[in-house]
Structure 1
Amino acid sequence: MMARSFPLHPLRVGVLALAALASFSAHADLFGDDEARRAIIELRQRFDTAVSAQNRLVEDNAQLRRSVLDLQQQIQALKDDLARSRGQQEQLTRDVEQQRAQRDALQALDDRVKKLETDAASKAAASPDGGNGGAMGADGNDKQDYDAALAVFRSGDFNAAQTSFASFIKRYPRSSYAPSALFWLGNAQYATRNYKEAITNFRSLLTAAPNHAKAPEALLSIANCQIELKDTRAARATLETLTKNYPQSEAAQAGRERLARLR
């Protein structure tokens, strides 16, 4: 039965070569000079080859470690990018949902106000915009300017609507349309998430004209802003005031539904 042979590691070969070299050196007298020199040269060459191979292995191993480290860093960078992308996607989804909710709320508000104004006009109990009377603008253009600002609001350009209504209020502070202008200014600010300023303008409407046809809607809008500001306690109190002070209004009905969800 033949014995199996195994390849020797280059470094091991070198060690064996050195041992053999030492043996040859110790017993050089057993060989002729030429034969001994050839054997020593061959052993040295084999040793040098083994050392070179070992050096290449060390360098290859170091290069492999560097490559693995670079790969790990690239993987971590990809993970970080993915986490950021997921965070941005989640934030975008939240923003879209919030914008959709605000758009739906504004549409519902617009529908209620249109009905309110139609009812008021049919009874001739208020001005065409649902106001409760007052002095007209000095140049008689307040209705035209109010309608123009309202058209901007209904077009969805809420930043421009804020500018238009703020200019209207400054120009026509005593107009019968001024409370309505405050109301729509507050809603334009709500649409652009300027909730604190919106609350200020809704409260200005309630202070100046507590019996105005849009007063219940102003209270409901204040509650909506407080909900967006995560001030649930204040929103609940506002909705309770709405349902108590204006129990027959459509805004009060919407307020009761909102109050039930808050509880």
Structure 2
Amino acid sequence: MIKTVTRPLLIAMSLVSIGVSANPAPVTEIGRSSRVPVTTTTATGTVEQRLAALERVVEARAEAQIRMQQQLQLLLDEVSELRGVTETHSYQLDEILQRQRDIYQEIERRVSSVQQQPAATNVVPDSTPSVSVSTNVSENDAYEKAVNMVLKDRRYDAAIPEFESFLRSYPNSVYAPNAHYWLGQLLFNNNDLAKAKTQFERVVSNFPDSNKVSAALLKLGQIAERENNKALALRYFNRVVAEHASSTSARLARERITALQ
């Protein structure tokens, strides 16, 4: 029995010995430094890559936020600009409507004047307080020439020296308040506010009974508004409402008062 077991055992040990001899274990050089450092370098490289990736993500988000802030600021600027444009258009529309009313009144006055001739009546009916008509032909011609440059020829810049010349030649003309107002309006349209203000002030101070006083006061308020003098603008607008409550200028003045308050 012992012999039977021992024989296979010896055979197995012989086979193991042969296998070991045929396939020896690889020899590892103690002096090589590639085992541990390779693993450490690989791990370190992975951390650096992750940090770099995180930095790129943070930078991308920061750039995106900056772009969003810039776009938001642009939108705010555009909204502010649109509001300014809207207010300007509303303001200009009021001015256009007022100029049209002035033109219609002037046309009506001139038609009435023609109808009254040659009766040489000194006062011509008007839709507003009466306007006198001169019997001086040269005076009439000079005034008509200046007005036609506005109404017919639309040579607004050329009309300015014509009205100035008329006022120098006929400072006491019955058309003087109208001429001052027309001149002020033309200067106002050219944004020459200082000179326009002078003309409107002359209408108010020198011709208190003229039908142009309410419109001149309104213009003085608008000039003050353009000059960012809100308090003065409100004083002029309130004066229009108080002294000329039923006029078209008073309605426009009320609108400006509401807008400024």
- Any conservation in 2 of the 1:134–1:174 contact (CA below 8 Å)? no
What runs of 5+ residues in structure 2 fail to find an aligned partner?
1-24, 125-130
In structure 2, what is the equivalent of residue 151 of structure 1?
148
**CA positional deviation for 1:235:** 3.0
CA distance in 2, matches of 1:121, 1:210: 26
CA distance in 2, matches of 1:200, 1:190: 11
Superposition map of 1:1-263 within 5 A = 34=28, 41-123=34-116, 124-126=120-122, 131-133=132-134, 140=138, 143-154=140-151, 158-170=156-168, 172-173=170-171, 177-192=175-190, 197-205=195-203, 208-209=206-207, 215-216=210-211, 218-228=212-222, 229=225, 230=230, 231-242=233-244, 253-254=247-248, 257=251
CA distance in 2, matches of 1:41, 1:178: 108
CA distance in 1, matches of 2:45, 2:132: 98
**CA positional deviation for 1:197:** 4.3
Between the two proteins, the alignment pairs up a number of residues equal to 215
**CA positional deviation for 1:176:** 5.4
- Any conservation in 2 of the 1:183–1:201 contact (CA below 8 Å)? yes
Deviation track 1:151-202 (CA, whole Å, cap 9, x = no partner) reads 3433666555434423443455455544432121122234456566445323
Amino acid at match of 1:235: F
In structure 2, what is the equivalent of residue 26 of structure 1?
none
Amino acid at match of 2:83: E
CA distance in 2, matches of 1:93, 1:259: 19
Amino acid at match of 1:125: T
**CA positional deviation for 1:210:** 5.2
Q: Determine which structure has greater relative contact order: mean sequence separation of CA pairs < 8 Å that are 6+ residues apart, divided by chain length.
A: 1
Query: Which of these two proteins has the greater Rg computed from alpha carbons?
Result: 2
SS of the counterpart of 2:121? coil
SS of the counterpart of 1:79? helix
SS of the counterpart of 1:105? helix
**CA positional deviation for 1:221:** 0.9
Structure 1 residues 175 and 255: alpha-carbon distance in aligned structure 2, compared to 1, 3 A threshold: closer
Deviation track 1:29-49 (CA, whole Å, cap 9, x = no partner) reads xx98617667x6233212211
Deviation track 1:82-135 (CA, whole Å, cap 9, x = no partner) reads 11111111111111111111101111122123223333443343499x544376
TM-score, length-normalised on structure 1? 0.63
- Any conservation in 1 of the 2:218–2:249 contact (CA below 8 Å)? no
CA distance in 2, matches of 1:223, 1:208: 13
Structure 1 residues 52 and 157: alpha-carbon distance in aligned structure 2, compared to 1, 3 A threshold: farther
